[in-house]
Amino acid sequence: MKTYLCLAAAAVLAIATCALATPTPPMWGTWASQFELKEFNPQANNWMTTTGSYYYSPLASLVAYANASAEAFCGSTGIGAGTPCYQLANSDARFLYFPEAGDSDSGECCKCCTVEQGCGPLKPSWMADASFEGTVTAQGVTADKWLIAGNEDNYYYDISDSHIPLLLNNSGFQIFGFVPSSYTTLVPMSIFTVPDICQGSIDQCEGVCGRFGASN
């Protein structure tokens, strides 16, 4: 009888240990999702909001904002206020493309900064050192909460059972609320093609991007 009790106790302990095991930090593959952005503007001392689409692959990323004025990098360039802004990052640099700005059908484009200056796409393992903060309820669903410590604390939430991106909170000043129903892993690589107007020798972006001092 004692043997059976010991085995039963060991089984219960093993189950409990598995249930309490810390999840592995998220590893990003290729995906896309629509989002709602809320970003604090310290100059105006207010919150700006816009919508957009986030496209990610291990080699490039594209963040398409519906309103350039609501995002710090786009809004500080002085280009295309109130019009869409696409931030495209690849193995070369990060470009800011404003398809509806200017007088031509090509729009306007500037270079924000280079990969050497830290402006490439996020690495798939960018959360490798993240700390698991527990399971919480976010946007009405059960989600895993992760802390990514940097100069300031950043938080990432994904749905616990599917690991679909849910929220990305950058230091409390920029919050992406992803739309789970729009999530897909079918992303055409052509979406990361650099527009013709962004190729060759182009101007350095003004504003926040100017702090990087990118050269063309």
Q: Which of 138, 124, 142, 145 is nearest to 178 (CA)?
A: 138
Instruction: Classify residue 148: in a domain, yes or no.
Output: yes
Instruction: Classify residue 7: in a domain, yes or no.
Output: no
Residue span of the structural domain in which 113 resides: 27-216
Instruction: Classify residue 117: in a domain, yes or no.
Output: yes
Instruction: Classify residue 16: in a domain, yes or no.
Output: no
Only one residue has tokens 């950043």, namely 154
Instruction: Classify residue 98: in a domain, yes or no.
Output: yes
CA distance 157 to 214: 32
Any idea what the CATH number is for the domain that residue 108 is in? Answer: 2.50.20.30
Instruction: Classify residue 142: in a domain, yes or no.
Output: yes
Are residues 120 and 10 in contact, defined by beta-carbon separation less than 8 angstroms?
no
Report the number of distinct structural domains present in the chain.
Answer: 1
Instruction: Classify residue 3: in a domain, yes or no.
Output: no
CA distance 155 to 160: 15
User: What are the pLDDT tens digits along the chain (216 aa)?
Assistant: 444 444 343 444 344 334 457 889 999 999 999 999 999 988 778 999 999 999 999 999 999 999 999 999 999 999 999 999 999 999 999 999 999 998 888 999 999 999 999 888 999 999 999 999 999 999 999 999 999 998 889 999 999 999 999 999 999 999 999 999 999 999 999 999 999 999 988 999 999 998 875 444
Instruction: Classify residue 109: in a domain, yes or no.
Output: yes
